[in-house]
Amino acid sequence: MVFNNKRFALLLAGFLMGFSLLAQNGLIRGKVTSKLTNDPIAFANVLEKKTGKGVTTDEEGKYEIAGLAPGLYDLVVSFVGYDEVAIYEIQVSNAKPAIVDVQMEETAEQLSEVVIQASAFKKTEESPVSLRTIGVAEIQRNPGANRDISKVLQSLPGVVTPPRFATI
């Protein structure tokens, strides 16, 4: 049986890659619930401190952190309205997932008064709705105006002249 170098290199790479995948298949999973009501806490943050990997719990309060090498890990669980919970030295192995259920205690904080006040807005009669400046060159270039400023102004968008009635 004859092996060429490309096949041998591919076989060796696949073999070594399989070992590297087996080396990091540790798993931490669990459920985050309220200590008072035992209801699941949806969308709580679960962070592993050493690797910085973090997840958010689902609607049922369940979470799963995968791809961990065997060893000891620390978790920090936080959610708005609850005290932060830290769990230390969770043993992770390749053999089975580490199950860590967390119960969080509600925190009550007295917030200070919130006042929303709008600033006064004053509109004076002199305030222009829009402003446009035209120069002598634009007046001369305007077709059909014959250098008449009133005809140039009437051609601008949004400019309306009031009707004039002749008096006898």
pLDDT tens, 4-44? 667 766 666 666 555 554 456 889 999 999 999 999 999 99
Closest CA relative to residue 46, chosen from 6, 82, 10:
82
Answering whether pTM is above 0.85, one says: no
Q: Domain holding 71: CATH number?
A: 2.60.40.1120
Instruction: Please tell me the predicted confidence (pLDDT) of residue 118.
Output: 76
Q: Is 150 part of any domain?
A: no
- 77 against 2, higher pLDDT: 77
CA-to-CA distance for 116 and 87, rounded, in angstroms? 40
Mean pLDDT over residues 158-163, rounded? 72
Give the number of other Cβ atoms within 10 Å of residue 59's Cβ: 8
Q: Which helix (H) or strand (E) holds 153?
A: helix 149-154
> Residue 1: which pLDDT band, with cuts at 50, 70 and 90?
very low
**Structural domain includes residue 91:** yes
The predicted pLDDT at position 138 comes to 79
Does some domain include residue 126?
no
Q: How many other C-beta atoms can be found within 10 angstroms of the C-beta atom of residue 102? A: 20
Asked whether residue 77 carries a pLDDT value surpassing 80, the answer given is: yes
Residue 14 lies in a domain: yes
Banded pLDDT at 109 (limits 50, 70, 90): confident
Note down the domain range covering 76. 9-104
What's the confidence (pLDDT) of residue 16? 58
* Exposed/middle/buried for residue 165 (C-beta within 10 Å: 0-12, 13-18, 19+): exposed
Residue 145 within a domain: no
pLDDT top residue among 97 and 147: 97
- If one counts every other C-beta atom within 10 angstroms of the C-beta of residue 42, the result is 14
Paired tokens of 99: 């199950």
User: Is 111 inside a domain boundary?
Assistant: no
Task: Please tell me which residue, 141 or 63, carries the higher pLDDT value.
Answer: 63
104, 80 Cβ separation under 8 angstroms: no
The verdict on residue 94 lying in a domain is: yes
Give domain status of residue 2, yes or no: no
Amino acid 147: pLDDT: 73
> SS3 string of 98-152?
EECCEEECECCCCCCCCCCCCCCCCCCCCCCCCCCCCCHHHHHHCCCCCCCHHHH
Neighbours of 158 (CB within 10 A): 7
**Total structural domains in the chain?**
1
Q: How many residues does the chain have?
A: 168
pLDDT at 3 over 60: no
Closest CA to 78 of 110, 105, 51: 105
